[in-house]
Structure 1
Amino acid sequence: MPHRRNLPIVLSTLGLVAASASATVLHVNAAADEGGNGLTWRTAMQDLQAALAAAGPGSGVTAIWVAEGTYVPSTTDATASFELIDGVALYGGFAGTETALDQRDWNAHPTVLSGDIGQDDVVGSGPYWYQNWNINSSNSGHVIVASGTDETAVVDGFTIADGHTGPAGTPAGSPLMFGGGIYCVDGSPTVRNCTFTHCEAAFAAGAGIYLWNSNATVQGCRFLENYCHLSSGGGIYIGGASDPAVEDCLFEYNIVVAASPDAEGGGLACWSTSATTVSRCAFHANVAKSFYSSGSVVAYGGGLFNFNKSMTVRDCRFVGNTAITGGGVASFGPTKLVNCLFLDNKSIPQPNDPYSELGGDGAAVSLFGQAPAISMLVNCTVSSNDGKQYAIHQSNTGTCWIQNCVVWANTGTNPELNGGYKVQVGGSFSASYSCIQDIFDPPAPGEDPIDPENLPGCTAANPLFSGASDAHLAPGSPCIDAGYDAWVPDGVEIDLDGEPRFVDDPDAPDVGLGDAPLVDMGCFERQLEPTCGAEDFNCDGSVDGADLGLLLAAWGTGNPTFDLDGNGIVDGADLGMILAAWG
């Protein structure tokens, strides 16, 4: 995620003298003197609510710049929120001296919109942050309300924190129980470059963001340490007829807890009746768990959960997530996973004494679609996930297609499956041009293996990862140039690293199908080692000042990279060789 981003905005000229009431930008700074009119940083308003009130219809205000500091919707009213306005962009991350939008830095100058109106919350940090979480007095139910807005209502560059269920005694089912960070019904705001943290939803949904009938854009945001009590969507909940764009976001250490009914989606839960797409996101160490140590409650989708309509998930990483079923992803609708990595996720069975334990399936991906639904994994890598059985599991009557994938080194605790491919994949599936451990062996002792003709292009050879936690393909991997080009969806031109998706490795045999260059199996395409001249130290295709700077930094040493003539020291002779190759 970038530390700063250039975002276009039309600004009128602002002077340092008193400006007219038609100024398009208002300035807010919690450290400012009282009584400011907001027209410059020197005369900034103290109160963000006052700035929003001044930016209403007919004001001519198109943006509010907010300096670092903490801002609360009210100091006494836990039903109060900051309400977004169509046509007004709310920008944070300013030091309070900037004259242009691209000068701000929201990491260096954190601007916090907090629901902790008493400023008395106590929280921990890391995977068990919630164990030390103490809400000492009532917090705002929603930090921000964006209902009824359109895409011109913008919030960008803020930390949105501590939204938590409203005043004491707020009943279950109240809107204040939903959307601790942002509550949005029938609205489609633009949310960029924000961090959502320590927000809660209880008996409801959407601790970080709650979207209902919303086509919001959520881009470049982080969802860290949010909590859903007996509800779904620790980071984001998507419901109604929503079709939001969720792009370039991080979901980390979010938690949903189930009692009855079930809770889903530690990072994100989607119950939309519209097709939904999630792109270029990372889901790390999110949890969907039961409130009870034993019983029939199942929590689905540690990273992501989908129900109802189809979902496409592209270029996403699911690492270290945990659930009772579907550690990385659980989906009841047809789901397409493209260029995704599933690593170190877990599905942990729920004791159900005196009956059999529940869950433990689909440590990486658990699918529940009904026929004729088809889910797909395309160019995904699924490795080192752990559960009771099946790293990838398709239950019910639907089918899962596994195409151009690597499924390897996943583990299962069910002793009946040891040595069979069902540790890796189970249920109704079709695999082609994929590397799946033990796929040609019997699925379990006493069962017949799959006919190899029904596994076109598949291999069970070791994929040769670059390391135990590094799923990039090493030289000599049987997965290089071994996929089927036609399985790659239209428009997919890069791999999960953002590198070219089709690269021909001259040292690898073309065992896949299609026209060269053939796609590799898995989410990472093997890239060729850069070839460049000895003097082009940074390998950018040109011998220039950057290379000269690198040589001078090594001057007088024996660094062999810069000792071009091999005399044991970086000196004038090497400088002469650089100058001779200049350009």
Structure 2
Amino acid sequence: MYVLVANRIYYVDGVNGDNANGGTSWGDAFATIGKALSVAGDYDLVLVADATYSDKNLQFGGKKIYLRGVDHNNAGQRPVIDCRSSGRAFYFNSGEKRDCVIDNFTIKNGSSDLGGAIRCENSSSPSIINCTISNSRALYGGAICCKSSSPSIVNCTFDDNRVDLYGGAIFCDNSSNPSIVNCTFSGNSASLSAGAIWCDNSSSPTVTDCTFSSNTADNYYGGAIFCQNSSNPTLSDCIFNDNTANWHGGAIYCDGGSLTLTNCIFSGNSAANYNGGAIYCNSSSPTVTNCAFSDNSAADFGGAIYCCSGSPSIVNCEFSTNSANESGGAIYCDSSSPKVRSCTFSGNSACYYGGAICCRSSNPTVTNCVFSGNTSNNDGGAVYCCDSSNLTMTNCTFSGNSAKNFFGGAIECYNSSSAALNNSILWGNSAGGGGDEVYPADSGSSCTLNHCCVDSAGYGGSGTIDESNCVHDDPRFVDAAGGDYHLQDTSPCIDAGDNSLVPSGVDKDLDGNPRIVNGTVDIGAYEHQP
């Protein structure tokens, strides 16, 4: 709760004030912030004039004080607390709540082991609004350290903060659950992990309308955000661009938690030497909804997302022009069971396997998706499954994908792996070595096609290909060359699917229109609308 009606008002002016004054007006202003905090009480307002202050370790002492910076001396300016690389600006340790407020300050050059600029502990959860924190240093939490505390952080900017260990901007530990709204994190860095925000030991911040750009984890994980040990952050309407991790998770690294992402954009993030250009998930099951991934890259696997030993849900997302120097241009799954629904994969690439998706010892379920223009230099232009993977794809469309040098223009299965393709279109894909559409490479691998539209001339491989009630005619897309894979009125795919193959709960097509029209489901990702 913010103070709306002040009990008393105190004034601070670092240019013209004097601590011998009473602080009751600008003409009677104190010289330091610390003096005002020492005399203010509950629901008092402290107005701080634009000037540079050197106060350190300022404490509210549990009092409900609203501390507000104003442009008293120069229009458009605000007060600056310069810690001069020695100490932090604020220390909250008396159980402060949201009605303890810091508003409209610049804090710079902080330096402390825990929280270079601000430290919150002992269930202290103040409100920090309209502030800029820059060039501050710490071991943990370059700008803010939260231990068993949940501050509200609104309309703030964090830039060029750095830690020797974890959390370039914010460190959250021991069930800290800050609310972070409309903030910008830019150019923050961690020597080890979490260039911007670290979440540990059941810490689950809520992050809304924030931008993370050019943050780095210099040596390990999570260019922007790192979460582990039952930490479950919720992020919505956020932008992640040009963040970098030296190892895994160019933007986000999640280990053993359940990350929730909604309406987020990931662009140009990079795992410089390993996996997960945008997101790396280990033993976790994130929920990713309505997100866009473009131009993210991984030196090894998973240009956008890398999943290991988890069951992520990925719904209504776009993956375009992501790349992996090894495999899985958009998504790489290792011992995982992702559910991917109503997504588009276009122009993603991998040097070796799976231009869009690569699965190892995994059981993905993919529904209502379009794969177009994805490429691998070797095998599986769109999808590659290996090492006892079992892929199920329903109402998907594959067109214009390419395995440039080897096999499986749309899909390849290798080493005792299987693909069940239901109500799907595979047409116009290419492979340099054969199997333009599907390629079960070995005798232990198989592809089963039920009610699909497929060019049977594109079958290849030494494994088993079984088909039932398939169509072998041109699907008649509206404009395949222009990327429009809706069906023309004369398409043989209309009302040619099998309703029983549509997964339970799937009642919309990729456009959000009814999945079944005229009583029988169409083949492909889009239901024809008469």
- Preserved CA contact (<8 Å) 1:435 1:460: no
| Structure with greater proportional strand content | 2
Q: For residues 218-237 of structure 1, what are the structure 2 equivalents within 5 Å?
A: 218-229=235-246, 231-237=247-253
Structure 2 partner of 1:4? none
1:147 corresponds to 2:160: no
- Preserved CA contact (<8 Å) 1:225 1:255: yes
Structure 2 partner of 1:248? 263
Q: 1:86 aligns with which of 138, 149, 173?
A: 149
- Match of 1:452, SS state, is strand
Structure 2 partner of 1:115? 160
Alpha carbons of 1:339 and 1:23: their partners in 2 closer, same or farther (altered >3 Å)? farther
Alpha carbons of 1:364 and 1:18: their partners in 2 closer, same or farther (altered >3 Å)? same
Q: For residues 60-79 of structure 1, what are the structure 2 equivalents within 5 Å?
A: 60-61=99-100, 64-67=127-130, 70-72=132-134, 74=136
Distance 1:24 1:460 in 2: 77
Distance 1:26 1:495 in 2: 57
Q: For residues 172-321 of structure 1, what are the structure 2 equivalents within 5 Å?
A: 176-186=191-201, 187-213=203-229, 214-229=231-246, 231-239=247-255, 241-258=256-273, 263-272=274-283, 274-289=284-299, 299-321=300-322
Distance 1:25 1:406 in 2: 62
Structure 2: tracts of 5 or more residues without a match: 11-39, 59-64, 72-77, 101-124, 428-436, 438-453
Distance 2:272 2:48 in 1: 38
- Match of 2:9, SS state, is coil
- Preserved CA contact (<8 Å) 2:165 2:193: no
The CA deviation string for residues 52-89 of structure 1, in whole angstroms up to 9 with x for no partner, is 6358513543663533x742262798973312473421
The CA deviation string for residues 208-238 of structure 1, in whole angstroms up to 9 with x for no partner, is 1011121111222111001122x00001001
- Match of 1:423, SS state, is coil
Alpha carbons of 1:82 and 1:490: their partners in 2 closer, same or farther (altered >3 Å)? farther
Q: 1:407 aligns with which of 398, 402, 416?
A: 398
- Preserved CA contact (<8 Å) 2:493 2:522: no
- Match of 2:310, SS state, is coil
Alpha carbons of 1:462 and 1:140: their partners in 2 closer, same or farther (altered >3 Å)? same
Structure 1 residue 460: deviation in Å? 5.7
Q: 2:95 aligns with which of 57, 71, 76?
A: 57
Structure 1: tracts of 5 or more residues without a match: 1-9, 93-110, 118-136, 166-175, 290-298, 349-359, 505-509, 529-583
Alpha carbons of 1:26 and 1:377: their partners in 2 closer, same or farther (altered >3 Å)? farther
- Preserved CA contact (<8 Å) 2:318 2:344: yes
Alpha carbons of 1:478 and 1:80: their partners in 2 closer, same or farther (altered >3 Å)? same
Distance 2:524 2:387 in 1: 27
- Preserved CA contact (<8 Å) 2:348 2:356: yes
Q: Which amino acid aligns with 2:426?
A: I
Alpha carbons of 1:521 and 1:311: their partners in 2 closer, same or farther (altered >3 Å)? same
The CA deviation string for residues 513-560 of structure 1, in whole angstroms up to 9 with x for no partner, is xx46x46622x55556xxxxxxxxxxxxxxxxxxxxxxxxxxxxxxxx
Structure 1 residue 162: deviation in Å? 1.6
- Preserved CA contact (<8 Å) 1:73 1:143: no
Q: Which amino acid aligns with 2:9?
A: A
Q: Which amino acid aligns with 2:262?
A: E
1:367 corresponds to 2:359: yes
Q: 1:163 aligns with which of 188, 193, 196?
A: 188
Distance 1:232 1:27 in 2: 45
**Structure 1 range deviating more: 139-148 or 77-86:** 77-86
The CA deviation string for residues 245-278 of structure 1, in whole angstroms up to 9 with x for no partner, is 12221111011122xxxx1110111112x43322
Q: For residues 316-395 of structure 1, what are the structure 2 equivalents within 5 Å?
A: 316-323=317-324, 324-332=326-334, 333-348=336-351, 360-369=352-361, 374-388=363-377, 389-390=379-380, 391-395=382-386
The CA deviation string for residues 99-138 of structure 1, in whole angstroms up to 9 with x for no partner, is xxxxxxxxxxxx4201347xxxxxxxxxxxxxxxxxxx99
Structure 2 partner of 1:134? none
Structure 2 partner of 1:424? 410
Structure 1 residue 18: deviation in Å? 2.1
Alpha carbons of 1:226 and 1:450: their partners in 2 closer, same or farther (altered >3 Å)? same
- Preserved CA contact (<8 Å) 1:503 1:519: yes
Structure 1 residue 14: deviation in Å? 3.8
- Preserved CA contact (<8 Å) 2:135 2:161: no
Alpha carbons of 1:179 and 1:446: their partners in 2 closer, same or farther (altered >3 Å)? closer
- Preserved CA contact (<8 Å) 2:166 2:192: no
Distance 2:82 2:47 in 1: 9
Structure 1 residue 362: deviation in Å? 0.5
Structure 2-normalised TM-score? 0.69
Distance 2:45 2:150 in 1: 12
Q: Which amino acid aligns with 1:364?
A: A
Structure 2 partner of 1:441? 456
Distance 2:6 2:93 in 1: 19
- Preserved CA contact (<8 Å) 1:441 1:449: no
Alpha carbons of 1:318 and 1:48: their partners in 2 closer, same or farther (altered >3 Å)? farther
Distance 1:64 1:242 in 2: 27
Distance 1:473 1:25 in 2: 61
Structure 1 partner of 2:15? none
Q: Which amino acid aligns with 1:395?
A: C
The CA deviation string for residues 121-169 of structure 1, in whole angstroms up to 9 with x for no partner, is xxxxxxxxxxxxxxxx999961111122344x1111111122223xxxx
Structure 1 residue 470: deviation in Å? 3.4
Q: Which amino acid aligns with 1:283?
A: F
Q: 1:461 aligns with which of 453, 474, 493?
A: 474
Across the aligned residues of Structure 1 and Structure 2, the Cα RMSD in angstroms comes to 3.7
- Preserved CA contact (<8 Å) 2:47 2:68: yes
Distance 1:467 1:440 in 2: 15
Distance 2:471 2:390 in 1: 18
Alpha carbons of 1:469 and 1:312: their partners in 2 closer, same or farther (altered >3 Å)? farther
1:13 corresponds to 2:4: yes
Structure 1-normalised TM-score? 0.63
Distance 1:27 1:51 in 2: 17
Structure 2 partner of 1:545? none
- Preserved CA contact (<8 Å) 2:369 2:510: no
Alpha carbons of 1:247 and 1:459: their partners in 2 closer, same or farther (altered >3 Å)? farther
Figure out how many residues of one structure are paired with residues of the other and give that number: 420
- Preserved CA contact (<8 Å) 1:347 1:387: yes
- Preserved CA contact (<8 Å) 1:25 1:63: no
Q: Which amino acid aligns with 1:218?
A: L
Structure 1 residue 483: deviation in Å? 4.8
